[in-house]
Amino acid sequence: MSARQILLFGGIALAILGMSYGLWYAVFAEHQALDGIGHSLASGFQAAAERNSAARESSLLAYRQAKYTYDRQVDVHGHWIGLAMLLIVLAIAFDHVAFSEKLKQLLAWALLLGAALFPLGVLMQTWSHGALPRAIAILGPALVIAALTGIVVGFMRRQAA
């Protein structure tokens, strides 16, 4: 598989994954998540009005958890599609990168892996607060930034040539 094919197929597949996830989320999860955030926050302040400290604390903790999950679920949708678009554009521009095909393939795989892993790690954080999801969410952007830096260097070499 050429570097261009890796980016093009990977990009469109990621875009489809991100859109499917977004569609599922909009239909089955978003409204419930927003209701949960609003309800728990309102309950916290209503408990404060009733001077019920325990209920206030538990409602605000529920708010914190619901907000944490909601922010990440929205980020996953946005980042998967955003990174997918970047992959497709770079696939089209890959002729401008002055490296050997082998190195270009390595950069393409690193970029695709980073683009797939980063939102996945963020999504996994909504299931577990352990170290693994966070490690994946850090590894993903690190791969994307490293690969992008390589592509910029390859592009500059072409410009200089």
Partner 1 sequence: MPGERKSYTAGPLDASAPAEETAFARLSARRLLTLAGIGMILAGMIFGDIFAVFVLHQNAARVGTSLSSAAQSAAAGDAAAVGSHFKDTGAFLENRGTKVDTHVHLIAFGYLALMLALAQPWVKLSEAARRRLAWLLVCGAALLPVGVFLIHYVGLAYSPLEAIGWASIFADLGGLMVLVATVGYLAGIVQHFRTRQPLLPDQLLGDRSTPARWLLAGGLILILAGFIHGAYYAGVDLYRHEAADYTILSQMSAAAAAQNQAQINQSLVDYGQLQGDKAVKIAAHAHIIEFGLLAMLLAFFQPYVQLSEIWKRRWAMVLLCGSLLLPVCVLMEMKFGLLAGGIADLGGLFVILALLAMWIGILRYTGSLDAMPSGVQR
Using CB under 8 A as the criterion, which residues of the chain lie in contact with partner 1 when the complex forms? Answer: 5, 8-9, 12-13, 15-16, 19-20, 22-23, 26-27, 31-32, 34-35, 38, 41-42, 44-51, 53, 56-57, 60-61, 63-64, 67-68, 71, 78, 81-82, 85-86, 88-89, 92-93, 95-96, 137, 141-142, 144-145, 148-149, 151-152, 155-156, 159
Smallest distance from partner 1 to CB 123, Å: 15
The two tokens of residue 60 are: 């605000």
Smallest distance from partner 1 to CB 124, Å: 15
- Give the residue with the Cβ less far from partner 1, 127 or 159: 159
Smallest distance from partner 1 to CB 47, Å: 8
The one-letter amino acid at 114: G
CA atoms within 13 A on the CB side of 37: 12
Asked whether 85 and 15 are in contact (CB, 8 A), the reply is yes
- Give the residue with the Cβ less far from partner 1, 5 or 128: 5
Question: In whole angstroms, what is the distance from residue 69 CA to residue 84 CA?
Answer: 23
The two tokens of residue 118 are: 């980063």
Helices and strands per DSSP (H, E), number in the chain: 5, 0
